[in-house]
Amino acid sequence: MRIGFIIVALALGACTQQPATYAPDVERNFMSACENQGSANALCACVWDKIEANITPGDFASLEIMPGPQREAHPLTAQISGYVADCNADLMPHIEPGEDDPVPGP
């Protein structure tokens, strides 16, 4: 999954102040930008939950105002990309070793 939606979401979702909690519009903007990039709502919600739990609003806002190359090289961008990978893995159906592929329905 590309991290393009993350950069767009950061640009739309964060503000320049250092708030103690995320404002509702930050989540709304993140979700909108994420889904507009073609990601499923469940993936976007999972990534947002991880961001909200692990990244302070101030750090998220600071990341947003960084120039593109600096933002892409920043450790938080890699951390968020890891959330995307984790959420993708969590949302994929798991097949136990030795199980056959599920038979499609009628």
Whether the pLDDT of residue 105 is over 80: the answer is no
Report how far apart, in Å, the C-alpha atoms of 52 and of each of 13, 79, 94 are. Answer: 12, 13, 26
Nearest of 70, 63, 78 to residue 9 by alpha carbon: 63
> Degrees (nearest 5) of the Cα angle 31, 34, 35?
85
Look at the pTM and tell me if it is higher than 0.75.
Answer: no
Least confident piece of the model among 4-13, 15-24, 40-49: 4-13
Structure confidence at residue 103 (pLDDT): 52
Report how far apart, in Å, the C-alpha atoms of 27 and of each of 57, 94, 95, 96 are. Answer: 11, 29, 33, 35
Mean pLDDT computed over every residue of the chain = 82
By the 8 A CB rule, do 63 and 10 touch? yes
